[in-house]
Structure 1
């Protein structure tokens, strides 16, 4: 028999408080950032799904604010404003976040951990996954599927290929926008030859040049032509878009690079299997991904040291969480058979604190738990009397 909603809510609150206590005992300090946050970081740094689901308002001074849609950026902002900024520090949290979700409540509870400043990246990554798995296990749920990937591997691949700078930026940006990446690669796979036009040579020169200089040239040409603002976009914005699109339309991605990228994105299996496939690809393609592969191998070792059965992890080179600020290891924990919404998700985001104003790069990794989603699974497990088999 399914528990009444009120009973589930009470049980959820008690279980979440216990979870928070376990994080504190593991050395993570409680963070309680403000609910109302500046909107700009979320608009600039989050994925499209979060940006389009924000609840926005404006204060009397004209500053655009939002209800926090997640807790990673607020916790990071508070850390940077504290005396601990730049030093290794770990924080845990529990509180409401606010996003428009079609057919679901817009206010929901998140718990989680954020770890800043640790230079032992592979060890920190493994610790996050271990703590996330412990949190789910403590809830009484064991039929968990672990999905993971590594944005840094794709970035290293693109950096190693001989591509125009515009293509490199475009493909790395599109990695977390799967539809855009598939569209770009699919269009180029179907194209028999680059498009030809009377100014093809100019476009090729722009695509292969320094981005700053190319943008300056296009901006000057538009200004000379009398353009100032089109469709609400500035000359600089239009020039940037033109430079990118002209390169894409010019077929600047070489066929051999397209084959390598396609082969890379098809790699999946356990972490060890994926590592072996990646090494074969680098040998056959004569690419140097030594540093990225070494970090993957080191992370696998730390996972094993934490008692994680890596044969139960599904690693995919195409896996991404759709958030623009992720830079490395990413993971999601799902209940077996639930292919859509994760119960827990997280990863590495080394560039975020610099984008938020840190003077020096600060490594960062963490994860969030969707309390209501996990509570529903706990209730289902209690009702059926079985937690299922461990992943």
Structure 2
């Protein structure tokens, strides 16, 4: 059984790898104001975070991760290139996995630099890969950016594309919408007598939690949706093929390059994928053993919008990921109020790396 001092020493050893790059060591407050986290995650975060109330700041959460407060701090001060590393505890409720710890250490590394995003992706992945040397792990990689580019390339309305993009990280809802928009399932009931509905609605100021104008706009959206032609079946097939893609990185790249000829809107993201693989190979990563999944990262990495990766124990299948990471360019723009800088980060669990190494530090 590992003890806290062993985990702390393991964390320091992992942090030293990132500090050696020249990254600035940062610390974040344990308590974070809830509003920002709720805006980014939605109400779902309440089921995963420990919440308390402050008489001045109102609702607050014990930090569920480091990335968001680091992005907030960086974007508030500057948008120049920077590298940060950190080591500390995060706190998560574990209703789905009751045997997992509610508080645990994380060691992380964040790169804010737009000079060469593909090179930065390869740098952070390679550092994590080296840090886990000697541990038997299964590596999964993906690219949310390719899927988002494919959705943005669909020959349909902007309203539909925005709806699909909003639910990229909710696979079941995404599938429901895609089936609806492509004619594979029933559309919302047509609004044939919108004027009659409006006459009734005008008698009220508020219905439920919505005002009259909001309800009228929703009725018009339903009417417009019913009148819009289905998404082309060939485009839906391409999207389904990307989602089901699972192979080695080289094979996946070859396939996606062929797909990009049919869907030119994904060419840029596929080109970035190719550049990333070149940098990874230069860093000594064996691409023949590096798997790629078109759907990877869609259920647990809500703010990632590009390259994503995870390291999982080969010997302890029930463990949480040993390390995860990915690119979150859009998050910097959202938190920078229009300012933007490409960014990528990763976190490791020293309690799990220590367990899997099978030893304690003296």
* Distance in 1 (alpha carbons) for counterparts of 2:217 and 2:92: 31
The reply to whether residue 197 of structure 1 matches residue 190 of structure 2 is yes
Residues 26, 44 of structure 1: CA spacing in aligned structure 2 closer, same or farther, 3 A cutoff?
same
Q: 1:292 and 2:278 equivalent? A: no
Corresponding residue of 2:152:
159
1:133-152 equivalent positions in 2, closer than 5 A: 133-137=129-133, 140-141=134-135, 143-152=136-145
Deviation string 1:24-76 (CA, Å, 9 cap, x unpaired) is 11111111011111112211213776442122222213532111100001111
Q: What is the TM-score when the length of structure 2 is the normalising length?
A: 0.86
- Which segments of structure 1 move beyond 6 Å, counting only runs of 4 or more? 220-223, 243-251
After superposition, the C-alpha distances for 1:309-366 in whole angstroms (9 at most, x for unaligned) are: 1111110111125333211101101122637731100100001122223442111100
- The separation in 1 between residues aligned to 2:217 and 2:326, in whole angstroms, is 30
> Which of 45, 51, 55 is equivalent to 2:50?
55
Structure 1 unmatched runs, 5+:
203-217, 384-391
Aligned 1:311-322 pairs, distance under 5 A: 311-321=288-298, 322=300
Q: Could you say if the C-alpha distance between residues 194 and 135 of structure 1 is closer, same or farther in structure 2, counting changes exceeding 3 Å?
A: same
Deviations 1:104-151 (A, max 9, x none): 3211111111111333100000111001111112xx41x221111111
Greater alpha carbon shift after TM alignment, 327-336 vs 189-198? 189-198
Q: Is the 8 A contact 2:202 2:212 kept in 1?
A: no
CA-based RMSD of the aligned residues comes to 3.0
Q: CA deviation at 1:90?
A: 0.5
Q: What is the rounded CA distance, in whole Å, between the counterparts of 1:222 and 1:97 in structure 2?
A: 51
Instruction: Give the equivalent residue in structure 1 for 2:344.
Output: 365
Distance 1:237 1:70 in 2: 35
**Contact conserved, 1:161 with 1:287, CA < 8 A, in 2?**
no
Query: In the TM superposition, what is the alpha-carbon distance from 1:186 to its structure 2 partner?
Result: 5.2
Change (3 A) 1:312 1:196: same
Inter-partner Cα distance in structure 1 for 2:35 and 2:206: 25
Contact kept? 1:109, 1:372, Cα under 8 Å: yes
SS in 1 for 2:18: helix
| Contact 1:50/1:69, CA 8 A, preserved across alignment | no
Indicate the larger mover: 247-256 or 262-271.
247-256
Bigger CA drift: 34-43 or 320-329? 320-329
Residue 347 of structure 1 corresponds to 326
1:26 matches 2:29? no
The residue number in structure 2 matching 1:211 is none
Would you say how many aligned residue pairs link Structure 1 and Structure 2?
352
| TM-superposed deviation, 1:223 | 7.1
Q: Distance in 2 between matches of 1:299 and 1:222?
A: 58
Q: How big is the shift at 1:254?
A: 3.4
Show the counterpart of 2:176.
183
- The Cα of 1:227 is off from its aligned counterpart by 4.2
Over 3 Å counting, the alpha-carbon distance change for 1:178 and 1:249 in structure 2 is farther
Matches within 5 A, 1:1-391: 4-6=1-3, 9-46=4-41, 50-61=45-56, 63-82=58-77, 85-102=78-95, 103=98, 104-137=100-133, 140-141=134-135, 143-185=136-178, 191=184, 197=190, 199=192, 224=202, 226-230=204-208, 232-233=209-210, 252-283=230-261, 285-321=262-298, 322-336=300-314, 338=317, 341-379=320-358, 382=359
Instruction: Work out whether residues 223 and 235 of structure 1, in 8 Å CA contact, stay in contact via their aligned partners in 2.
Output: yes
Point out the more displaced range, 42-51 or 292-301: 42-51
Q: What TM-score do the two structures reach when normalised by structure 1?
A: 0.80
Shift of 1:238: 5.5
CA pair 16-248 structure 1, distance change in 2 beyond 3 A: farther
Give the secondary-structure state (helix, strand or coil) at the position aligned to 1:351.
helix
Structure 1 contact 167–253 (Cα < 8 Å) conserved: no
Stretches of structure 2 that go unaligned for 5 or more consecutive residues are: none
